[in-house]
């Protein structure tokens, strides 16, 4: 029977939850790297034992950790091996940036430079995306917004500088959470295609492996920026894609839920009958490309569910028509948030859906959202949730 591994990043460490295919009893491992902010934990889709962790501290900076045994032990690539839960790093990865023609230099957190574009600070890794085809290739989305790639399983990192060097770069502005590159989507059918999203610049696409980039924000409308239909400047919260249809994208924006059927060239609003179209997460059912999930939040100033009722909304038609899913979720007095990387799905025959909250709960549905159960409570605030379906 297949197993499920849920990877949870929190404000105070990483946790690994495992269960069999029934998904009714869970084992909890952690905290790994206790006390550290874990912005993202992600497993390789082609090596189920390889995991990556983005680990951040205001004191010690940014480190990417790697496990090659499913989280039992960890190492800082290029450094020494580390034990499991509670380990403190003793070495730091090298991120090498491109300074528009100058030789690349290693950088650490809080390092500024005056380049030809605009001042830039390397603060943290928001998102880690392992390659779909190469077990040693992995991407990292950075704040301030930049994209890095490693081809040696995190031993070294090099910037794909065409993104930050884009002509619109000086127009990018930070959202409330910083100027973060929080979404990286790879296309299995086209290895040269990469989608990314930045708050608050918008979505971009590369068709040449990250060498050059194109803004893909036509159809987005943001009334709080000087030009509401500008090429860049939109606060995109998250973008999702079903691997069987890489031309179809779904977006949760700073208001509005959107859809593109042409690889981001054009977007249309699909908020439909949602009670509010503000939120952070969006995801797609593993086997039904037209089934989409969002978690509406009251507003951009009140980051909690409407009327204190935690609800997931599902559309089985690719948008516009949405149904409320609340069986097993709090009915009142719930004032948590669900952050942009805190929802994921498994690939079992009956698709499981998972999300974590800033209140420290991780909820799971083993029947595509019809019923929910908290599989763990009282964690630190959840920053990310990812899922591996294990053979």
CA 247 to chain centre: 19
- What is the reported pLDDT for 107? 53
Strands 94-99 and 81-82: unpaired
DSSP 270: -
Q: What are phi and psi of 118, to 5 degrees?
A: -170, 160
- What is the reported pLDDT for 116? 45
Strands 94-99 and 156-159: parallel
- What is the reported pLDDT for 109? 47
| pLDDT mean by block of 10 residues, the chain; 391 residues | 93 97 93 95 96 87 92 81 46 63 49 51 93 97 95 94 93 90 97 96 98 98 92 97 97 97 98 97 98 96 94 97 98 97 97 98 98 97 97 82
C-alpha 183/C-alpha 174 separation (Å) is 15
Instruction: Give the chain's domains with CATH numbers.
Output: 3-390 (2.130.10.10)
User: How many residues are there in the chain?
Assistant: 391
Cβ-count burial of 338 within 10 angstroms (0-12 exposed, 13-18 middle, 19+ buried)? buried
- What is the reported pLDDT for 88? 45
- What is the reported pLDDT for 67? 97
- What is the reported pLDDT for 80? 46
Number of other residues whose CB lies within 10 A of the CB of residue 190 = 12
Helix (H, G, I), strand (E, B) or coil at 170: helix
34 to each of 38, 79, 109, 342, 379, how far by Cα in Å?
A: 9, 19, 20, 19, 11
C-alpha 161/C-alpha 45 separation (Å) is 26
């Amino acid at each position: 029977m297949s197993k499920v591994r849920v990877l949870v990043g929190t404000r105070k460490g990483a946790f690994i939850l495992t269960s069999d295919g029934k998904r009714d009893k869970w084992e909890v491992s952690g905290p790994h790297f206790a006390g550290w902010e874990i912005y993202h934990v992600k497993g390789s889709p082609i090596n189920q034992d390889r995991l990556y962790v983005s680990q951040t501290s205001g004191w010690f900076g940014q480190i990417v950790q790697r496990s090659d045994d499913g989280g039992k032990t960890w190492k800082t690539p290029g450094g020494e091996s580390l034990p499991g839960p509670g380990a403190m790093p003793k070495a730091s990865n090298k991120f090498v940036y491109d300074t528009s023609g100058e030789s690349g230099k290693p950088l650490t957190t809080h390092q500024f430079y005056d380049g030809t574009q605009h001042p830039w600070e390397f603060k943290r890794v928001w998102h880690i995306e392992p390659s779909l085809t190469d077990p040693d290739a992995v991407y990292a989305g950075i704040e301030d917004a930049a994209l890095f790639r490693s081809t040696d399983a995190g031993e070294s990192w090099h910037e794909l500088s065409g993104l930050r060097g884009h002509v619109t770069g000086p127009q990018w502005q930070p959202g409330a959470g910083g100027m973060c590159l929080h979404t990286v989507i790879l296309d299995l059918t086209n290895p040269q295609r990469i989608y990314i999203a930045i708050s608050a610049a918008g979505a971009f696409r590369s068709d040449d492996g990250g060498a050059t980039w194109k803004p893909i924000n036509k159809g987005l409308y943001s009334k709080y920026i000087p030009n509401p239909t500008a090429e860049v400047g939109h606060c995109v919260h998250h973008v999702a894609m079903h691997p069987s249809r890489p031309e179809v994208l779904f977006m949760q924006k700073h208001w509005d839920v959107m859809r593109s059927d042409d690889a981001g060239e054009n977007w249309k609003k699909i908020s439909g009958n949602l009670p509010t179209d503000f939120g952070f997460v969006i995801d797609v059912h593993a086997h039904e490309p037209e089934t989409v999930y969002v978690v509406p939040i009251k507003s951009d100033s009140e980051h909690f569910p409407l009327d204190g009722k935690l609800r997931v909304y599902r559309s089985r038609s690719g948008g516009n028509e949405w149904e409320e899913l609340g069986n097993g979720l709090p009915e009142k007095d719930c004032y948590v948030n669900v952050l942009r990387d805190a929802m994921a799905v498994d690939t079992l025959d009956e698709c499981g859906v998972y999300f974590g909250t800033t209140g420290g709960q991780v909820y799971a549905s083993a029947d595509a959202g019809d019923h929910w159960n908290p599989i763990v409570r009282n964690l630190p605030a959840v920053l990310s949730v990812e899922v591996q379906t294990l053979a």
